[in-house]
Structure 1
Amino acid sequence: MTLKKRIFLLFFLSAFIPFISIFAISYYTIDSIFANKIDDGIRSNLQQVTSSLENSITNLNHVTQQLSYSGTLGKKLDEVLKPSSNIFELIETRDELKSELNVVTFTNPNIGLTLYYFQDDGSTQFGNFPIKDRFAPESLPVLSKAYGITYYGPHVSMNRFDDQLVLSAMRKVKLPQRDDAYIYVESGFHLAQDILGYNQYKGDVSHLILDGEGNIVYSEIPEAMKVGENFSNLSKGAASDGIARDHHWFRQDSTQNWSVVSVISQAKYQQEKNQWLLQILLVALFFLGFTVFLAWLLWKMVYKPLGLFHSEINEMSQNPQTAGSQTRTQIPEFDFLLGEFSNMQHQIGDLFKEVQQKEKIRADLEVEKLLYQINPHFLMNTLDTVHWLAVMNGQGEIDRLVQSLNKLLYYNLGKLGQVSTMEEEIDALRQYLILQQIRYDFEFDVRISADEQVLQIPVPRFILQPLVENSLYHGLSDEGFIQIEVTRKETLNIMIQDNGAGMTEEVIERLLNNRVPEHKKVGMGIGLNYVQRMLKAQYGDQAQLVIESELGTGTSILLILPIKGEDISA
């Protein structure tokens, strides 16, 4: 870190650590105060709205009970609906029924439209107000049902002269003559608006009304939460409060099997806290500006000597073999450093000569490496000639042997440890097995199964051949088999099993730790120790090599590799 950055950092920390500490304490304290204030205000308002709605629905229940068959009005309705030959008595009874209906509605100022509804023919009678074109209670949002009465959530009034929101209830009237009669009662003018518009919190709060199953039957914010949606799904099962669709919500359940939810957008919810936070940020910006100004003043005090020192360093870096400058800054510390750089300049010249000599040696090694690669290519070309001679003379076994050896040598031209694909590794293994099956004087079976999805996974070269070579070396005989399975799960799993003579724990330990390859009997002689070291170099502790063997039964080798794709180093 440069001196300039250190100066700025020092001033920044000295000014802002106390400020940040005070800010953090104040923020959490005021945040808690604001949150409690907002939450308590909304909950109090929600409780008042719920209580008012409960009272209104209870009042509707009492009125419908008065107008049902169990009351006087219900009995008069039964008389009106009976066939009668005395028209004057019928008219008198109807007048009495209307009069008593008016008394009930006038003595209940919170009651609006009241009428009897006959479901079979869809007709209405004795309404105290004209109704809209068609009375259709089935289209109203059902809030709850209990004891033969249905309560409807806020909806537009059926009164022709009123488009306000109302609550309503419809109860079946038990008449001996008719089974389709219902009494329908709405709440009074502006009652629902006054209840839902009550806002003790004084904030921008909206309301939802839910039925007993949590479905929204009334919503003041249909753009965010629509009627018909299940609120439990939106709130992820929370019981009393939470966040849903960028809105804070608070829920109050009614004993009448419905609920009211108060909803406020997060922006409105955070508005007061954001205003306070903005003031704090303005103060923080002022402190930051003042701190930067002080740091700039201190920087100017040392800028000139630092500039001279920087120019000397640039000149040395562009021409390190030139003599050092005698410029002095009159600051002992800087003058001492310039003297040290002059000495370093002479050392850099010596290093340049050493690097040039090493580059010449490296170039010679590249030429020597190229010469070493000529011999394998010459051998491959010669084997290719032998292959065609064998084809021309009908020597199929020799042809097969030469082709497999040629392919294996071509694969071997890559350095051990370089990345290959599982498909290339399996193909090289097959060529190796062809050579061994021709060479050995006993028959053995090799079964290779690999999922299609593992073929392009990168793996280090020559990790399969030493594992299979181990099976051939340790006790495989006539009717022997080697089973190779390559599968992909979260890791790349390679399982090699044989039915050979098996090995003891001592033999397994010697194979894993013997760095001298055992190539007296078979194959490339790379050895299990190579595989173990290669896994350690390529994967660290993420790869596993597990060997299980039992004398007289066989050996099982499990190789577990992480799948890293292009992350495996070449």
Structure 2
Amino acid sequence: MIDTSSKQKYGWFHSLKNRLIVILLLSSFIPIFLIGFISYDSISTLQDHKMRSGIQNDLQKIKITLEGNLENLNHVSQQLAFGGGVGNDLYTYLTNNSVEKVVAERSIKEKVGFIGSSNPNISLMLYYNIDKKSYMFQNYPVRDHFSLSQLPVLVKEKEITIYGPHQTESRIFNNYVLSISRKVKFPHLDNIYIYIETNNEFLSEIFQNSQYGKNIDYLIVNKQGIITYSENQRYFPIGSSYKDSRKQDSHQYAFSERSNQGWEIVALIGKKIYEKESRSWFIKFILFAIASLCISLLFVWWIWRTVYRPLNRIRRAILTMNNEKNFEIKLTGLIEFDTLIHQFNQMKTKIGNLLNDIRESEKKKTRLEVEKLLLQINPHFIHNTLDTFRWKARLTGQEEMDRLLSQFGRLIHYNLRRGETATIKEELEALNDYMELQGIRYNIKFNISIHVDDSTLETPIPRFILQPIVENALYHGIGHEGIIKVDIRRQDEAHIIIKVIDSGGRIEDESIRQLLNDAKREQKNAGLGIGMQYVLRMIEYQYGEEASCRIESDSVRGTEVILILPVKEKEDSR
């Protein structure tokens, strides 16, 4: 049982209830957050693209409409200019005082009326004498103090000046219009201009018929960057610099479309309106997230009650066991907990048997330690016995027997001592002893040539890997006569290469493949029962993929076993 002092050592997160709350809230909140973030990003991108595309399309339509109407005004002005039908009549009217003047006046009025009626997008038309500041042949009444110099210039070109938008100069209407003026190039008359306005409903219709209607304020900026028309006089007054006004406005987005003539139409939309749909979606998402979290809390409470009661029952039952061997906890009715209780009851029964097993294991351990000591004593007994034979041979003058026993003793000592590695020098010494013993035992005539780089003599390699390779060359390669070469040198700073070459016959490729790849293949006649598989497994065990072994064989050169081993630090092999 956990007492009060022990409970203080546990943090808030060590409570199962608190962990369930955190885990379930995270499992609910994280997916909602990720889905919400991705959805919001996608919806915002789509909404932004939708708004931008819609507004830009509106602006392009408005620009095309304005350019079309200005082109229409220009076309009408050409009819009124000198060389056109009306312009020629005006010249006759201005240069004659006879009956021709009356006829010309009547013709001008008829033609101006016809042009006005046949062009519904045109309103006021007149001829203006800039010197006398007077006008004539107007089709609608004109405001007092009419003057071209007072109109806002949108674009000024060589022959034509575009104004506006501005309030109409007609006394009948009060709307904003676009207008143009063109100088009439009469011979000896330089003071006559044509003035034409668009329809009085033209601007309000094209702006109000846009996709977003009253949610957008429109500006028209001339080629010099001055605002000539504004539906937002608070931040963008007419006559001010658009660039300067834009710097002072931070609550609206601006979109623009530039005409070929250099003037620009700008659409202003409030950020709240622009982001309305995204904000509405975000509010709905927050409400959905809150609802999901509340549902998660209900699940936490339900799971807590489902888990806590069985756990509390198990805890009380365990505390009241009192070491009774056959005591069993009452089942809870839940499969998972009942399985746990059943396993606990089985564990209770097995504990007694386990204690008995432990006692038996202790006895076996003691017996194994005694056997281990005996195994350590046996090599010493062998060495002592060989020493006795060797001294006996020496005392009786049997020098050949003394030498053989000395070599055999060194070989036994090398093979039975502890450690998995030895230096190349030690491995070669053992190999020399072994080969000399084999030559005497079987009376085999062979030559063994050993070439070793002095810098590699103290390099550690796996113990007992040269003897099996040379032994295979001896028995399966050269037979009773032949040459065996052992070449050991550095391949590079990090590797050494060991070659064992015999002058025997060629080994078939399939035999080489089986020798290198078949781990279950048993090698017969291997020295001390250890063959090539020992060599392959030992270098794989110690070096892994850092080392490699390959066999090359042909009928001319014989068979060559090549080991490439990484250079490692020297270990204590004693």
TM-score, normalization: structure 2?
A: 0.48
TM-score, normalization: structure 1?
A: 0.49
